């Protein structure tokens, strides 16, 4: 779910329960768009989807696998699993990166070699590796 205009990043990262007053509405979407401050609001430009009749992005309740999982949840789960493995002394960050680097990739997979995990990535809020 999208979060309303009050400190987008902080609420998304720290809120345990989403309060209805913080949900994005057509009104606060337009206000946030008008601030031209994507780092605070999470909105860079008006969605082209809003030009469709009977549709607005604030009332879209369909799950979006790419944004919900691949760009959000999966990063957090991977960090948790890796941190657990390191903290449980199942492996080290160095051994994990060595195994990833030395894994034999196929012809097509070689184009998508994963970046090594860094300590700052595993400890921070960033999604970048």
3-36: pLDDT as tens digits = 444 444 444 444 445 677 778 889 999 999 999 9
CA distances from 26 to 64, 98, 119 (A): 19, 48, 40
- State the pTM of this model: 0.50
Rounded to an integer, the average pLDDT of 39-46 is 91
Tokens of 27: 């009104």
| Residues above pLDDT 90, as percent of the chain | 36
Look up residue 73 and give its two tokens: 């949840």
Distance CA 120, CA 128 (A): 10
What is the domain partition of the chain in residue ranges? 8-59, 65-123
Locate all alpha helices (DSSP H) within 5-125, ordered by sequence: 8-14, 26-35, 38-41, 65, 74-87, 93-102, 119-123
Q: What is the pLDDT of residues 52-111, one digit of tens each?
A: 988 888 887 777 777 777 777 888 888 999 999 999 999 999 999 999 999 888 888 888
């Amino acid at each position: 779910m999208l979060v309303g205009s009050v400190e987008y990043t902080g609420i998304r990262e720290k809120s345990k329960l989403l309060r209805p007053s913080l949900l994005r509405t057509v009104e606060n979407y337009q206000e946030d768009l008008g601030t031209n401050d994507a780092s605070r609001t999470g909105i860079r430009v008006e969605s082209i989807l809003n030009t469709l009749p009977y549709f607005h992005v604030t009332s879209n309740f369909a799950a979006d696998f790419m944004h919900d999982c691949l760009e959000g949840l999966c990063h957090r789960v991977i960090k948790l699993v890796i941190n657990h493995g390191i903290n449980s002394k199942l492996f080290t960050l160095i051994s994990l990166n060595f195994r990833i680097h030395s894994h034999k990739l196929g012809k097509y997979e070689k184009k998508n070699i994963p970046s090594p995990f860094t300590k700052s990535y595993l400890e921070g809020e960033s999604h970048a590796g």
